[in-house]
Amino acid sequence: MAEKSFKLAVPDTELDYLRKKLDLVRFPDELEDAGWQYGVPMDAVRRLTARWKEGFDWRAAEAKINELPQFTRDIEVEGFGTLNIHYVHQKTVAKNAIPLLFVHGWPGHFLEVSKLLPLLTSDTGDDPKFHVVALSLPGFGFSEAPKKKAFMMSHYAEVGHKLMLALGYNEYVIQGGDWGYAICHSIAHLYGPKHVKAWHTNMANAGPPTFWASPLLWLRNLLTPFSPADVKGLQQNKIWAADGRGYAAIQQTRPQTIGCFMADSPMGLLAWIYEKLVTWSDNYPWTDDEVLTWVSIYWFSRAGPAASARIYYEFFHKSGSSLAARSTTPFGVSYFPKELVYTPRLWMRTVGNVVFESEHESGGHFAAYEVPEKLANDVKSLCKLESVSKAFK
Amino acid sequence: MPHSEKPFKLSVPDADIDYLRKKLEFTRFPDHPDGMDWQYGVPIENVRRLVARWKDGFDWRAAEARINQFPQFTRDIEVEGFGTLNIHYVHKKSEAKGAIPLLFVHGWPGHFMEVSKILPLLTSNAGHHAKFHVVALSLPGFGFSEAPKKKGFKIRQFAEVGHKLMLALGYNKYVVQGGDWGFTISRNIAYYYGPEYVKAWHTNMPYTGPPTFAADPLLYLQYLVTPLSPQDVQGLKRNEHWYAEGRGFTWIQQTRPQTIGSLLADSPTGLLAWIYEKLIVWVDHYHWTDDEVLEWVSIYWYSRAGPAASVRIYYEYYHDFEASQPPWSPVPFGASHFPKDVFYSPSLWVRALGNVVYEVRHDVGGHFAAHEQPEILVDDIRALCELEVVSKEFDY
């Protein structure tokens, strides 16, 4: 099916329905002085809910989103038939531009690319220039959701790759964090270095080298003492694993049960996502309308918010694929201090062919949205390397 | 001054019933791709069916009338550091002489009505077995009891409420029974208030890890040299599966109770799915009627503090795990193992929990033993309390 241009236009009935639901909201009680200790504080949730019902202008937000050139097209996925995929596609006027696929995660979406777009497609300066494609993953945003179970990482990768080919990009680079990291890892493994000339992540996440998979790295790891930063970071990881992953635990085991909530309660969905926006970012000054736009994309998503949880289930149950094997595709990593997990630099070499690394003083999980210049610069630096840029001359 | 006892009749305001109906009318269901069985969570056809009935067909007033057949009361209980909490409970005395006062403690997603089938059997004056006065409270933050307003309401505080309630009712000697959180709370009640007040405790969910040297060196030694039986091996394997697959709800409730609480408070459909999944997955071939399920979930929906309050027990327990594990107590302890409950514990390990004087492993039954197999559970409670070491404390 040929590409169709897309303009986000949520029907009035949906807006009315949301407002009715918000009218009927019932808030939980709260302990005195709870703060953020027990989860999201109710004063913030109440304030946001009130604004979502009255004051937040979705049509204005929609208009702003529609400033981005968006399209849909059907992509065939082996075993799953055709999925209609939504994406942003912005070309640069510059010559020798590098096609870049941006892959979001959870609770992210295609709009996370919005601040990167002008930086990557800009025609000025000596840095590489990019054509940027940012899809809504199947089951997220305005893409269809798979109609069957067992949609694995390799299937998400297939969608991303086929989209780039369909757009005429036989050779391209990819960038992603959160699930975007795992998916880019798969794309690089499955389609690089023939099609994928480089891949980049802002969420460095890897375990230690094992003797079987990487004996030389394993040896190096044994002989290399941990730096103070490593010790601190790995300690933080322990806390994260015990304290921060409740949402993942339920999404990866009972997505349809938690999905009932996400589909039915806008205030609940708001609480569920807002908690991550605040606790996973590095003091990013979210405005209420920014949050509400973000959550609205989940609320108004084509398949509904429940679909987005299933990526956790399928990955956790690994009946087919998980993190792909290491590829020779040039790999760039940006380390942000407030990312959810810390990985010693050595360990990242088990994941891919690290040719570029950059360490930052600020920035959290939503790097493309929080610190777009830093991320854009890193992507450009990666693609400036001879091993990458030669493919696009 | 704490108030003296007031009789209680459950009477949900019409406005609340209308409000629920409105919410249900506006339900938005999740999508549900093909092939998704119970592995993924509650299958959507079940949710739709139950929501449709809850909206239209389920008679809450009839359910309420049934609940009100049980004599209920409220009274204020002072809890050190937390002020006064108004506690709701069922209280039915037996006509028998020398009946044993028994405190029944529910868990999550349970409630006081889990006592409904065992109560008539326990209080009955017929037969020659032990008879009981039964008290079944709504734990603070559950059912129709107030919820604590301050942080840090731990198992110790739940135990305090249970004990003070029994004392307030004039029971200076009593026994206590519980499963799920009721197990942990009963264990704490036995340790802190027995053997002076608590003459025995019983659980249908004995849950423990292996013995440790620090807690019990002899038992630990015995553990080291005793091979696991084939049944143990199978049971512990089942536990592993539970830890990997079945504990998502625990994890979110013990780390972010306020976030999941927002969902529980606002979506009756979500609350229904959240609880119904446990009612189905944790039982042993128990046939729930739709109305039974809806009555059960309605107690959570209409609860005094709202459903979000009920999950904070997980947070407080998880953040001070050590405080909830009291040392071994000499109070006579009875353990009933039901095969389809969520955890399996080898008998050797159970000896670390308390002074096991009675233990039995059943062939049938799951997590909600009092509701699924009331006769079996009552037999076990009677058997425990008829032992000389317990019965001598009471005049029966």
Give the residue numbers spanning the domain of B159. 68-206+326-391
Q: What is the pLDDT of residue B396?
A: 61
Q: Which of A26, A249, A304 sits opposite B30 (nearest CB)?
A: A304
Handedness of CA B319, B320, B324, B328 (dihedral sign): positive
How does the average pLDDT of chain B come out, rounded?
96
Mean pLDDT for the stretch of residues B185-198: 98
Q: What is the pLDDT of residue B183?
A: 98
Closest CA to A264 of A289, A240, A238, A299: A299
The answer to whether residues A188 and A258 belong to one domain is no
Which residues of B are known to be catalytic?
180, 314, 367
Question: What is the end-to-end Cα distance of chain A in Å, rounded?
Answer: 31
Q: What is the pLDDT of residue A324?
A: 65
Give the residue numbers spanning the domain of A260. 11-64+243-314
Let me know if residue B139 belongs to a domain. Answer: yes
What is the distance of C-alpha A49 from the center of its chain? 25
Q: What is the pLDDT of residue B36?
A: 83
Residues of B in contact with A278 (CB under 8 A): none
Which of A258, A289, A314 delimits the end of a domain?
A314
Q: What is the pLDDT of residue A182?
A: 94
Give me the residues of B, 159-218, that contact A with CB < 8 A.
none
Supply B310's token pair: 């009920």
Inform me whether the pLDDT recorded for B222 exceeds 50: yes
Q: How far apart are CA A141 and CA B67, in angstroms?
A: 46
Element holding B336 (H helix, E strand): strand B332-337
Quick: pLDDT tens for A49-58. 999 999 999 9
The answer to whether residues A344 and A256 belong to one domain is no
Q: How far apart are CA B265 and CA B20, in angstroms?
A: 11
Q: How far apart are CA A229 and CA A81, in angstroms?
A: 47
What is the pTM assigned to this prediction? 0.95
Mean pLDDT for the stretch of residues B232-246: 94
A89, A131, A178, A195: the catalytic one is: A178
The answer to whether residues A369 and A384 belong to one domain is yes
Q: What is the pLDDT of residue A320?
A: 44
**How many other C-beta atoms are found inside a 10 Å radius of the C-beta of residue A78?**
9
The answer to whether residues A191 and A176 belong to one domain is yes
Q: For chains A and B, what is the number of CB pairs under 8 angstroms?
A: 205
Q: Which of A244, A247, A265 sits opposite B267 (nearest CB)?
A: A265
Closest CA to A114 of A90, A94, A91: A90
The letter for the amino acid at A347 is W
Mean pLDDT for the stretch of residues B284-290: 97
For residue B258, what is the nearest residue in chain A, using CA coordinates? A39
Quick: pLDDT tens for B74-113. 999 999 999 999 999 999 999 998 899 999 999 999 999 9
Handedness of CA B206, B209, B214, B218 (dihedral sign): positive
What is chain B's percent helix, strand, coil content, to nearest 5?
45, 15, 40
Q: What is the pLDDT of residue A322?
A: 54
Closest CA to A344 of A240, A201, A209: A209
Longest distance between any two alpha carbons in chain B, whole Å: 63
To the nearest 10 degrees (0 to 180), the angle between helices A288-299 and A266-279 is 130
B253 touches A at CB < 8 Å: yes
**How many other C-beta atoms are found inside a 10 Å radius of the C-beta of residue A12?**
9
Q: Alpha carbon of A341 to those of A104, A335, B236: distances in Å?
A: 17, 10, 31
Let me know if residue B300 belongs to a domain. Answer: no
Give me the residues of B, 34-73, that contact A with CB < 8 A.
34-36, 40-44, 47
Q: What is the pLDDT of residue B2?
A: 53
| Cross-strand bridge partners of residue A133 | A89, A101
Mean pLDDT for the stretch of residues A335-357: 95
The answer to whether residues A78 and A208 belong to one domain is yes
Mutate to test the interface with A, among B40, B46, B310 (most CBs of A within 10 A): B40
B264 touches A at CB < 8 Å: yes
Element holding A19 (H helix, E strand): helix A12-23
Let me know if residue B364 belongs to a domain. Answer: yes
- The residues, ordered by sequence, that sit 6+ positions from B185 with a Cβ below 8 Å of its Cβ are B105, B139, B155, B158, B159, B162, B178
CB-based contact A264 B29, cutoff 8 Å: yes
Task: Judge whether A161 counts as a catalytic residue.
Answer: no
What is the distance of C-alpha A185 from the center of its chain? 13
Q: How confident is the model at residue B215 (pLDDT cuts 50, 70, 90)?
A: confident
Supply B329's token pair: 């107590």
The answer to whether residues A124 and A102 belong to one domain is yes
CATH of the domain at A353: 3.40.50.1820
Residues of A in contact with B45 (CB under 8 A): none
- The residues, ordered by sequence, that sit 6+ positions from B42 with a Cβ below 8 Å of its Cβ are A254, A256, A257, A260, B273, B276, B277, B280
CB-based contact B258 A34, cutoff 8 Å: yes
CB-based contact A40 B315, cutoff 8 Å: no
Handedness of CA A155, A157, A163, A166 (dihedral sign): negative
Let me know if residue B287 belongs to a domain. Answer: no
Let me know if residue A358 belongs to a domain. Answer: yes
Quick: pLDDT tens for B300-316. 999 999 999 999 999 99
Q: How far is A253 from chain B (nearest CA, A)?
A: 6
Q: What is the pLDDT of residue B44?
A: 94
Q: Which of B22, B33, B148 sits opposite A146 (nearest CB)?
A: B33
Q: How far apart are CA A144 and CA A142, in angstroms?
A: 7
Closest CA to B349 of B341, B340, B364, B359: B359
Let me know if residue B211 belongs to a domain. Answer: no
For residue B152, what is the nearest residue in chain A, using CA coordinates? A31
The answer to whether residues A208 and A353 belong to one domain is yes
Q: Alpha carbon of A165 to those of A170, A200, A280: distances in Å?
A: 5, 19, 34
Let me know if residue A372 belongs to a domain. Answer: yes
* Number of domain units in chain A: 2
Q: Which of B257, B269, B305 sits opposite A260 (nearest CB)?
A: B269
* Number of domain units in chain B: 1
B87 touches A at CB < 8 Å: no
Inform me whether the pLDDT recorded for A125 exceeds 50: yes
Residues of A in contact with B249 (CB under 8 A): 250, 254
Q: Which of B34, B253, B263 sits opposite A261 (nearest CB)?
A: B263
Q: How far is B50 from chain A (nearest CA, A)?
A: 13
Residues composing chain B: 396
Q: How far is B40 from chain A (nearest CA, A)?
A: 5
The answer to whether residues A92 and A59 belong to one domain is no
CB-based burial, A179-210: b 16+ in 10 Å, e otherwise: bbbbbbbbbbbbbbbebbbbbbbbbbbbeebe
The answer to whether residues A132 and A149 belong to one domain is yes
Q: How far is A270 from chain B (nearest CA, A)?
A: 9
Three-state DSSP at B91 gives: strand
Let me know if residue B193 belongs to a domain. Answer: yes
**ipTM of the complex, rounded to two decimals:** 0.93
Let me know if residue A234 belongs to a domain. Answer: no
Quick: pLDDT tens for A161-198. 999 999 999 999 999 999 999 999 999 999 989 999 99
Q: What is the pLDDT of residue B42?
A: 95
Which of A314, A338, A357 delimits the end of a domain?
A314
Q: Given its phi and psi angles, is residue A104 left (phi above 0), alpha (psi -120 to 50 degrees) or beta? A: beta
**Percentage of chain B exceeding pLDDT 70:** 99
The letter for the amino acid at B312 is R
Element holding A186 (H helix, E strand): helix A179-191
Residues of A in contact with B317 (CB under 8 A): none
Residues of B in contact with A258 (CB under 8 A): 41, 248, 263
The answer to whether residues A97 and A210 belong to one domain is yes
Give me the residues of B, 306-335, that contact A with CB < 8 A.
306-309, 312, 315
The answer to whether residues A104 and A206 belong to one domain is yes
Mean pLDDT for the stretch of residues A101-110: 98
The answer to whether residues A183 and A111 belong to one domain is yes
Q: How far apart are CA B396 and CA B390, in angstroms?
A: 11
Inform me whether the pLDDT recorded for A273 exceeds 70: yes
Mutate to test the interface with A, among B50, B266, B312 (most CBs of A within 10 A): B266
CATH of the domain at B84: 3.40.50.1820
Phi (first) and psi of residue B355, to 5 degrees:
-85, 85
Which of A261, A294, A314 delimits the end of a domain?
A314
Q: Which of B43, B267, B306 sits opposite A261 (nearest CB)?
A: B267
Closest CA to B344 of B195, B205, B163, B189: B205
